[in-house]
Amino acid sequence: MLDRPRVPDCRWISVVFLQGTEADAVLGLIDRSGASAAFDYLQPRDLGEATTDAALENGYVYDRIPAGRTDHIIEHDGSPYALTYSRTYRYVSLLRWHPLESELKPTRPAPRRVDIWAAPRSTRLAERTVTL
């Protein structure tokens, strides 16, 4: 298995995951024309920031390329993409290597001190206390 060196601020994100009949079409393309043709077919489905946001929101972010024993893993030379597929389980997945700076974006701004609707800090802390 080819895997890039572990970089603390980068992860693999899922670009597209196909299974069943949809995957069969791509598996056939791999058989006929090779993995490069599958990369060319799947890469236009990467919508950049929208794909990244969806992967982060849905938890499709991985420290390593996710793969099982029956999977084939191919990294596209000179690009941030990797392809995994399994004929046994009939699926194809395209992943992209991505720096996680976007993961650090706050989902909503923290309440400002002048915000009259924000409870005082001492009240908010009490709500988070759990007694076992």
- Do 25 and 90 meet the contact criterion of CB atoms below 8 Å apart? no
Per-residue pLDDT band for 105 (boundaries 50, 70, 90) equals low
| pLDDT (tens digit per residue) in 36-94 | 999 999 999 999 999 999 999 999 999 999 999 999 999 977 889 999 999 999 999 99
